[in-house]
């Protein structure tokens, strides 16, 4: 697919790196020559220096011939203008990143008037992800597929966990909950485990199941954490506003600590029931004064990675049950996996995943792929993909236990007639089923790719 990305900042580069790995033909636009040069030197992309809101720049980048135009600059209005121009020049689809909260309410109107195919709101996407993790405090990542009430949860097996030393084939018998372990990260390795795989303390595992079954499983395994009810947010960013509204709608008490008096006044106008303190939250004495030792959740959302990381570590040290630090530099995210693996979240990676999922949907619509949705697991080396079982699929009519499924592939969930369930050896797929497939170190384009070559004729 020919894709043009306007904006070689953090968001644009994160999306470009993922799309480049998937083999798309990319052109990157940015006003800064150093950014263009860096992108061209580090990836297989074409660079174009100039303003994305200038028709001449878009012509040079051949935006009119693009299957998809993505506007990812830091200026909403420039993004909207660029998308409109690109579409008028002939681009088939256009996606814009938008940060102004007012644009969330006007999403449908903007799609119609500005010829957008899709819009992404980075601050809201970040808030949604943090909210999901806070509502499931044992997890470091929570995903939900469209049309499925199954959740995909990633967490770390602690030293006192009853899971340590248990083989997967004994899991259901011991804990009595129908869950499925999709992948395990152990040290530098990531794998989709078989039944004889034995779990260890320190393993980072991803499981799927119905929400109630997962919670009962965590309790039985000794990994359960009390729901978060009292959260301190450090920094009054747009993400903090979105997150506060999401949390307060579920009964969570939120306190915001923000240093700027002007920003505190603006926050007070939109968050009528929220406790807001105007103070320097990077001072640990201030955090103690405003109750960090009594909080069961802490989220660092300042614009400085170093402050977020250090204060997140401090919050964990003083006993806060769930700590999340927003980190923009992906190198820090990788480093902190070994130091404090449950405490980091990258908005760039979240947005890049949304864009990649949308691109996958376009491939599906064009007949190049049958993937409905896509998420990355296991440090991005494992992929969870949703498919619809077609009437002519080779995997129809055979029980899973008799199906020649390739190594490194797992059928994690089936959605049939609106209801989700975990498949077992007796499950027989039917046309119209939606299935979630997990695969390690490979990309599956069509559902029948889960079968070994010799099994395609079943």
Query: String of b and e for 404-425 (b: at least 16 CB within 10 Å)?
Result: ebeeebbbbbbbeeeebebbee
Residues of the chain with CATH 3.30.70.1450: 126-220, 351-455
Looking at the chain, the domain(s) classified CATH 3.40.50.720 span 2-120, 230-345
In this predicted structure, what is the pLDDT of residue 249?
94
Given a contact cutoff of 8 angstroms between Cβ atoms, the answer to whether 342 and 309 are in contact is no
Homologous superfamily, domain 230-345: NAD(P)-binding Rossmann-like Domain (3.40.50.720)
Sheet of strand 230-234: strand arrangement: 275-278, 253-258, 230-234, 297-300, 322-326, 344-345
The crossing angle, in degrees rounded to 10, of helices 347-365 and 10-21 is 40
Give pLDDT, residue 438. 87
Q: Half-sphere exposure of 154 toward its Cβ, with a 13 Å CA cutoff?
A: 21
Q: How many CA atoms lie within 13 A of 279 on its CB side?
A: 18
- Rounded CA separation 80/77 (Å): 5
Q: What is the DSSP code (8-state) at residue 10?
A: H
| pLDDT by residue, tens only, the chain of 458 residues | 999 999 999 999 999 998 998 889 999 999 999 999 999 999 999 999 999 999 999 999 999 999 999 999 999 999 999 999 999 999 999 999 999 988 887 878 888 888 888 899 999 999 998 998 888 777 778 877 666 777 888 888 888 788 889 898 888 778 777 788 888 988 888 888 888 899 999 898 888 888 888 888 888 887 777 779 999 999 999 999 999 999 999 999 999 999 999 999 999 999 998 999 999 999 999 999 999 999 999 999 999 999 999 999 999 999 998 999 999 877 776 666 655 545 788 899 889 988 987 887 776 565 555 666 667 776 667 888 888 888 888 888 889 989 888 888 888 889 898 888 888 889 999 988 988 888 886 667 778 888 875 444 33
Pick the CATH number of 126-220 from 3.10.129.10, 3.30.70.1450, 3.40.630.40, 2.40.110.20: 3.30.70.1450
Q: What is the CA radius of gyration of the chain?
A: 23
CATH 2.40.50.100 correct for 2-120: no
Ranges of beta strands (E only) in 378-417 are 382-388, 409-416
Output the CA torsion 4→9→14→18 (10° steps).
Answer: 20
Q: Which fold has domain 351-455?
A: Alpha-Beta Plaits (3.30.70)
pTM, two decimals, is 0.79
Distances (CA, A) of 260 to 233, 280, 314: 14, 9, 22
Contact 137, 177 (CB under 8 A): no
Beta bridge partners of 387: 371, 435
């Amino acid at each position: 697919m020919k894709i043009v990305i306007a904006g070689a900042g953090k968001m644009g580069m994160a999306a470009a790196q993922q799309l480049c790995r998937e083999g798309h033909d990319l052109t990157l636009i940015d006003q800064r020559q150093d950014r263009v040069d860096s992108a061209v030197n580090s990836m297989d992309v074409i660079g174009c220096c100039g303003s994305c809101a200038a028709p001449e720049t878009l012509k040079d980048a051949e935006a009119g011939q693009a299957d998809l135009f993505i506007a990812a600059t830091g200026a909403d209005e420039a993004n909207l203008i660029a998308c409109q121009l690109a579409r008028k020049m002939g681009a088939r689809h256009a996606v814009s990143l938008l940060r102004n909260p007012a644009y969330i309410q006007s999403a449908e109107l903007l799609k119609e008037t500005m010829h957008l195919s899709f819009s992404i709101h980075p601050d809201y996407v970040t808030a949604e992800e943090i909210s999901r993790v806070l509502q499931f405090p044992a997890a470091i990542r929570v995903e939900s597929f469209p049309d499925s009430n199954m959740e995909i949860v990633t967490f770390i097996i602690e030293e006192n966990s009853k899971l340590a030393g248990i083989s997967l084939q004994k899991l259901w018998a011991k804990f009595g909950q129908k869950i499925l372990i999709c992948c395990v990260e152990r040290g530098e390795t990531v794998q989709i485990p078989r039944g004889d795989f034995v779990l260890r303390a320190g393993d980072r595992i991803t499981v799927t199941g119905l929400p109630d079954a997962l919670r009962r499983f965590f309790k039985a395994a000794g990994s359960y954490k009390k729901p978060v009810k009292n959260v301190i947010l450090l920094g009054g960013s747009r993400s903090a506003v979105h997150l506060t509204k999401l949390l307060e709608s579920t009964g969570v008490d939120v306190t915001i600590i923000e240093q700027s008096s002007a920003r505190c006044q603006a926050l007070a106008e939109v968050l009528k029931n929220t406790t807001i303190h105007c103070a320097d939250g990077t001072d640990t004495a201030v955090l103690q004064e405003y109750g960090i030792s009594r909080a069961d959740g802490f989220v660092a959302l300042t614009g400085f990675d170093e402050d977020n990381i250090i204060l997140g570590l401090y919050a964990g040290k003083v006993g806060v049950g769930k700590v999340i630090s927003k980190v923009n530099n992906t190198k820090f995210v990788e480093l902190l996996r070994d130091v404090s693996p449950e405490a980091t979240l990258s908005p760039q990676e979240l947005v890049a995943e949304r864009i990649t999922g949308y691109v996958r949907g376009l491939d599906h619509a064009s007949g190049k792929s049958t993937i409905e949705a896509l998420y990355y697991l296991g440090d991005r080396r494992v992929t969870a993909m949703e498919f619809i079982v077609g009437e002519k699929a080779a995997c129809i009519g055979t029980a899973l236990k008799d199906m020649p499924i390739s190594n490194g592939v797992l059928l994690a969930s089936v959605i049939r007639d609106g209801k989700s369930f975990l498949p077992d050896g007796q499950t027989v797929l039917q046309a119209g089923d939606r299935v979630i497939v997990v695969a390690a170190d490979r990309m599956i384009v069509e559902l029948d790719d889960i079968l070994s070559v010799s099994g395609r004729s079943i």
